[in-house]
Amino acid sequence: MSKKDTHENENDVVLEENEGDSYKDPDPAIQVKKLKEKLTKCLAEKDEYLDGWQRERASFANFKKELSSEQKKTVQFAYEQVISDILPVLDSFTMAFSNKEAWEKIDENWRRGVEHIYTQLKSILTGYGVEEFSDEGKDFDPIRHHPQESVPVSKEKEDGKILEVLQKGYTMHGKVFRPARVKVGEFKKE
């Protein structure tokens, strides 16, 4: 330390102003007053810096949450896109299985292999929260069903009921992902 940095008398306080000037005031009351003013100014600056730091920290935490949320949405969108591309393949399997006569004519070992592939594909989709539904015989629900055709029915209790499922619907994590395409009964009084 240089001689300038050390104090010869413990009661002397050396204050340094922003311009670099040093001065000693012989009156201890004035020294204390100036020290209190400087301390008040320093405390105010500290509070200002702390407040700014805390706001920036909170802002950064919010940014990280938003970024994480956006990443989850992007991944979810990618899953949905891939799954929507796979669903027509499941529809093709369903159509192949629905023609019982033609399906029974195919070699049994080959049939079992195709059925196993179908089961594996459904199992993978189930792992991603995808479940199929058809709801034949149930009441029409515009959220779960897309009406392809209204079919006249003779019984009033069949009005608004799903008579036939043309294409299965799917949910993903409990929400309708693709509505089922259905024929709906329509009763008309004559």
Please give the model's pTM, rounded to 2 decimal places: 0.63
Domain containing 139 — which CATH number?
Answer: 2.30.22.10
Report how far residue 47's alpha carbon sits from residue 40's, in angstroms, rounded to the nearest whole number: 11
For the stretch 37-44, contacts whose Cβ atoms lie closer than 8 Å and that sit 24 or more positions apart, written own/partner, are none
- Which are the contacts of 103, defined by CB distance < 8 A and separation ≥ 6? 96, 97, 111
Asked if residue 108 is part of any domain, the answer here is: no
Task: Say if CB 164 and CB 136 are below 8 A apart.
Answer: yes
Asked if residue 79 is part of any domain, the answer here is: no
pLDDT band of 23, cuts 50, 70, 90: low
Candidates 141, 124, 18; CA nearest to 133 is: 141
- The string of pLDDT tens digits covering residues 54-69 is 999 999 999 999 999 9
Q: Which domain holds residue 188?
A: 132-190
- What is the average per-residue pLDDT within 4-16? 48
Asked if residue 125 is part of any domain, the answer here is: no
- pLDDT recorded at residue 143: 94
- The string of pLDDT tens digits covering residues 75-123 is 988 888 999 999 999 999 988 898 889 888 999 999 999 999 999 999 9
Asked if residue 183 is part of any domain, the answer here is: yes
- pLDDT recorded at residue 69: 94
Asked if residue 20 is part of any domain, the answer here is: no
Q: Is 168 helix (H, G, I), strand (E, B) or coil?
A: coil
Task: Say if CB 133 and CB 144 are below 8 A apart.
Answer: yes
**Helices within 22-174 (DSSP H only):** 28-98, 100-105, 108-127
Asked if residue 161 is part of any domain, the answer here is: yes
Asked if residue 171 is part of any domain, the answer here is: yes
Asked if residue 153 is part of any domain, the answer here is: yes
Structural domain total, the chain: 1
Sort 180 into a burial class: Cβ within 10 Å, 0-12 / 13-18 / 19+: buried
| Residue 119, token pair as written in the block | 């089961």
pLDDT band of 27, cuts 50, 70, 90: confident
* Half-sphere exposure at residue 161, Cβ-oriented, CA atoms within 13 angstroms: 13
